[in-house]
Amino acid sequence: MTDHSSAATLERAHSAADRKSDRPILSVDDLKVYFPVKRGLLSKVVAHVKAVDGVSFDLHRGETLGLVGESGCGKTTVGRSILRLIEPTSGDVYFEGEKLQDLSPAELRERRRRMQIIFQDPYSSLNPRMTVEGIIGEAFTVHGIAKGDERRARVRDLLSKVGLQPDYINRYPHEFSGGQRQRVGIARAIALNPSFIVCDEAVSALDVSIQAQVINLLEELQQEMGLSYLFIAHNLAVVEHISDRVAVMYLGKIVETASSIDLYKNPTHPYTRALLSAVPHPDPTRQIDRVVLQGDVPTPLNPPSGCRFHPRCPIAESICSEEIPRMTDLGNGHQFACHVEARKLGK
Ligand code: SF4
């Protein structure tokens, strides 16, 4: 059996098992990523930046989870630590039923074929000195899947799959527009037939009209390949369109999670309401009072006590600075962490 066919067999086995059990393709449990702050000649660790502080969620096969929040909330660190591009401080990540921390480096490399990432800036993420064939085909060479004519044929197939002309195979990144470059980035991400992709602000750097085209392409590929996406963005309008569920992050923690429809119809956490109120929406029946947040996001080096949102929250009470709010379940997968809203709802 060739390397590629064994991977395909493994994938079919995983798909069948996951469908049968409805087991999440990805489970993240209490993930923490702390970056040490070092000072002095001896580089003594004097503090930690708590970029991600106890994040948990599941992602199912063929599902898109939007992860949103202001810049610096830790959402990109979540995506990268799942893929082990950043080493987590603690917490468990299960992918296709396996705990990633228990795998050897060789096993992890093998699993990484099925976990890919699309970066925000396609220009800086593509090697300017490599042709498209080199950029997309590199993975085939590294994993011993294809070379020579077969590699070229596979790269041409991938180019047409992402809506680019196969004849672009000899072009360099600077010869493409921003949207085309992101299509090259997508072709590279799907080359090894992954089941899970982190889309890390994948359309944020593109013009609005191009954003829509790239999102449509991601949705088509999801249908065709059964992909699961963790779609990281600060643009709530984009997230609403593509996501089945949305998780809202603030200062290293998830503060609300719900189906996309529920979250946009019934935002419960004051931070979610503030974010949503800033999004212009063409639907005039959607009445959301404008909430203006005071001040900037505090530093994760020394996060506020209790509810981390309390210094900016328009409805904060004394309990908010004293106790960390627990997750309250509204049913249907809708959860939020807020003392005041939980009390109002009798929870
Ligand atoms: Fe605001 Fe308090 Fe709720 Fe936090 S717990 S969101 S500070 S009301």
**How far apart are alpha carbons 236 and 210 in whole angstroms?**
17
- Ligand 1 centre to CA of 278 (Å) is 19
- Asked whether residue 8 carries a pLDDT value surpassing 50, the answer given is no
- Asked whether residue 324 carries a pLDDT value surpassing 60, the answer given is yes
Note the pLDDT of residue 141. Answer: 92
Lookup: tokens for 219: 């949705």
Note the pLDDT of residue 327. Answer: 96
Residue in 248, 338, 343 to alter for ligand 1 test, most ligand atoms within 8 A of Cβ? 338
Lookup: tokens for 104: 């050897």
In which band, very low, low, confident or very high, does the pLDDT at 283 lie, cut at 50, 70 and 90? Answer: low
User: Does any ligand 1 atom lie closer than 6 A to the CB of residue 132?
Assistant: no
* 60 DSSP 8-state letter: -
CA dihedral 162, 164, 170, 176 (to 10 degrees): -100
User: Does any ligand 1 atom lie closer than 6 A to the CB of residue 320?
Assistant: yes
Element (H, E) at 47: strand 44-59
pLDDT tens track for 25-76: 999 999 999 999 988 888 888 888 999 999 999 999 999 999 999 888 999 9
- Asked whether residue 269 carries a pLDDT value surpassing 50, the answer given is yes
- Ligand 1 centre to CA of 321 (Å) is 9
Q: Give 324 or 46, the one with higher predicted confidence.
A: 324
SS3 259: strand
Note the pLDDT of residue 315. Answer: 94
- Ligand 1 centre to CA of 315 (Å) is 7
**How far apart are alpha carbons 66 and 242 in whole angstroms?**
8
Q: What is the mean pLDDT of residues 226-251?
A: 92
Q: Give 123 or 118, the one with higher predicted confidence.
A: 118
Q: For residue 317, give the nearest of 307, 327, 326 by alpha carbon.
A: 307
Name residue, tokens 């949705």: 219
Mean pLDDT score of the chain, rounded to an integer? 89
- Asked whether residue 20 carries a pLDDT value surpassing 80, the answer given is no
Note the pLDDT of residue 287. Answer: 60
Residue in 326, 340, 343 to alter for ligand 1 test, most ligand atoms within 8 A of Cβ? 340
- Ligand 1 centre to CA of 306 (Å) is 9
* 49 DSSP 8-state letter: E
Q: What is the mean pLDDT of residues 290-306?
A: 83
In sequence order, the 6+-apart residues with CB closer than 8 A to the CB of 15 are: 61, 195, 226
pTM, full prediction: 0.89
pLDDT tens track for 136-152: 999 999 888 998 999 99
User: Does any ligand 1 atom lie closer than 6 A to the CB of residue 339?
Assistant: yes
Residue in 271, 273, 313, 326 to alter for ligand 1 test, most ligand atoms within 8 A of Cβ? 313
Task: Residue count of the chain, please give it.
Answer: 347
- Ligand 1 centre to CA of 335 (Å) is 14
pLDDT tens track for 188-223: 999 999 999 999 999 888 888 899 999 999 999 999
Contact between 63 and 244 under an 8 Å Cβ cutoff? The reply is yes
- Ligand 1 centre to CA of 340 (Å) is 6
User: Does any ligand 1 atom lie closer than 6 A to the CB of residue 340?
Assistant: yes
In sequence order, the 6+-apart residues with CB closer than 8 A to the CB of 145 are: 3, 4, 139, 192
- Asked whether residue 285 carries a pLDDT value surpassing 50, the answer given is yes
Task: From the CA of 319, give the closest atom in ligand 1.
Answer: 2
Q: Whose CA is nearest to atom 7 of ligand 1?
A: 310
Task: From the CA of 325, give the closest atom in ligand 1.
Answer: 5
